[in-house]
Every structure is written in structure tokens, then in C-alpha cells.
Amino acid sequence: MAKTMLLIAAASASAGAAVTALLLGKRDGQSQPAPTIPPPPPPSTTKSSTPVLPTTESIQRSPKNIIDPSGWFSYGAPGPTNDLASRTSFISVYDRRMRNPAWVAEHITAESLSGAKGDRKNSVFLEDQAVPENFRARLKDYFRSGYDRGHMAPAADAKFSQQAMDETFYLTNMCPQVGTGFNRDYWAHFEDFCRRLTAKYRSIRVITGPLYLPKLDSDGKYRVSYEVIGSPPNVAVPTHFYKIILGESETAPSLTASVAIGAFVLPNAPIDNKTPLAEFSVPVEMIERASGLDFLSLVPTERRRSLCREVDCSIVVREFPKRPPKVVGDK
């Protein structure tokens, strides 16, 4: 039974290698060949009495097009639009449809973690006014939802300045996360694991985001199902979260040096702290296929090293402060 499938079907469900094959487009370890498209038949040389409709190519060459689909853009461009935000300690892209970030990329070093100018007790959760109101995640969406406002770029990674700390509390850096057993426990220990990597590598880059993965139903079919919180329902609750971690020997990216890579997918559910982190290790390609994102297209295979072969991929259980920051409007 493949361990990665425990993540894809559900935290508590059993799954096999077939689901990995489903997401990766592989079977028995082999990539499935692309479907062969037969070449078009040669043009007929016989005349037909049946009227021949103009092709798209002929319409485009025609001085007077009979249709103009691009005319729609005179009224507005439908998108999709991704809201890019460049913050002090991270860069994020916001998914308007899910009201969650699609990805959040951050850079941490031993130096950046050594500062103590930022304190989360001075930070407040904020709606991101840069996102149009109609597509904005709201504080009230989380109210009594049963979920935490879970950071993608952790506040603890931004202690080097109060501004950097404050920016991590925008809702465009948040997703609904299960609190006890996950956001306040295993996920927090996982974030600490990333910070501890700075003891070995001069530079750590982390990209984090939500996933909405299929689950095997009782009828033998796979379906994607997730909760939506808010009134009206507004913010999607991810089924899983991913982190891709890069360990660099230099503080600046190199076009020639190799890089240590670790990719992990965790279910948005309580996880026993005794569960080895390595159980959630997956190929980067699985996350790319599930998310529709391309993370490491400029890193050839010969420059990729396995993070978990160089370090002990395990969490250290620590007690973290349970004091939440204030919300704007709190007294």
C-alpha cells in the first residue's frame, strides 16, 4: 500500500498505488502515452454540390469576419484573475474562487530568524483590501466556523520586523485549518521543522498552499468534496495542504548549484504527533498535478537532491503559545 495514497483519499481512509497513478498519470511505474491523434484526411480533389462552411483559418484571413468572439472583451475580461501580493517576508497569489491563497512563497535564513523585533501580540487579523470586495475572504466567514485561520507563511518566520509579522495576518495568507491536532499541533511542529533546517542550509525556501484532493466513495468512484464556510458560504476548506522545501547552500538562487528538495502533503485533519513526517513525503510532480501549478520547471533532474536523505525528516514536539492575536474590531 503506497503511503502517499493515505493522503489523497483521506486521512483516515485506506488507499493504494492506484490513486497515485490516477493523479500522476502513471500506471505500473510507466507514464501513459499521449493519445494518438490521427492526421486529417488529405483534401478532396472532387467537387461536391454540398456547400463548404468556411474554416476558422479562412475566417481569420477574411477581410470581413462574420464573427468576432474577442468583442466580449469590450465589456470586460472574465479572468481568471490571481491577486499577487509582494509582502516583506513572502509573496502570495490569491485564488478568488476558493477565497484562499493558491500559493505562498517565503525565504528564511538563520539571520532572518534571529531577529526579535516582531511580536504577534501586537498583530491583528486583517481582510485584504487589495482584493475586490466581491471576492474577498472576510473575518466573519471564520466566525464560529470551527476552523482556525491557518497561516501559510507562519508568523514565527517573520519576527525580524513588526511590519513583516503584521503582514502574515492578512486573510490572503490564511486558509481554514482544523485547530486541535493540526494547526495548533502537528502543522506548527512542521513549520518548526522548516525553521530548524537553517542550521544545515544557508538558505531555505518554502512554498505552501491548499489542495482539494479526490476521495474514494463507497460506489468505487473518486470525487472531490470540501466544506465551504461563511454566511453566505464563501471560503473553501481545503482537504489537504502542501509544502515544498528547498535547501540551498547559498543565500541567493544559483543556476548551476544543486538543491535539496522535500515535498509534503498533509491532510487537513488531526494528526498524531507520533506520526513520522516522512510518511507525508510525496513527489513534487504529485503536487504539481493536483494543484495545476509548476514549481520547479527550471531545475533539471541532475540538480535535484533529496532533502530527507540529507536530514532527519521528523518533527520535534514543542509547546507553542496558544494566545491568539486580536481581530480588528475586538475590544
What are the catalytic residues? 151
User: Can you state the percent helix, strand and coil of the chain, rounding each to 5?
Assistant: 25, 25, 50
Rounded to 5°, the CA angle 143-148-150 comes to 130
Q: Distance from CA of residue 146 to its chain's centroid?
A: 22
Q: What number of H helices and E strands is found in the chain?
A: 9, 17
Answer for the pair 323, 121: CB distance below 8 angstroms, yes or no: yes
Answer for the pair 88, 158: CB distance below 8 angstroms, yes or no: yes
Q: Distance from CA of residue 293 to its chain's centroid?
A: 8
Cell of 299: 531545475
Q: What is the largest CA-CA distance in the chain?
A: 84
CA distance 166 to 74: 40
**Residue closest to 6 by CA, chosen among 243, 216, 262:** 216
DSSP class of residue 228 equals: E
CA distance 24 to 31: 8
Q: What is the DSSP string of 241-253?
A: EEEEEEEESSSS-
CA distance 262 to 313: 9
Q: State yes or no: 82 annotated in a binding site.
A: no
**Residue closest to 284 by CA, chosen among 258, 246, 253, 315:** 246
Residue keyed to cell 487589495? 130
| Binding positions for Mg(2+) | 183
| Binding positions | 183
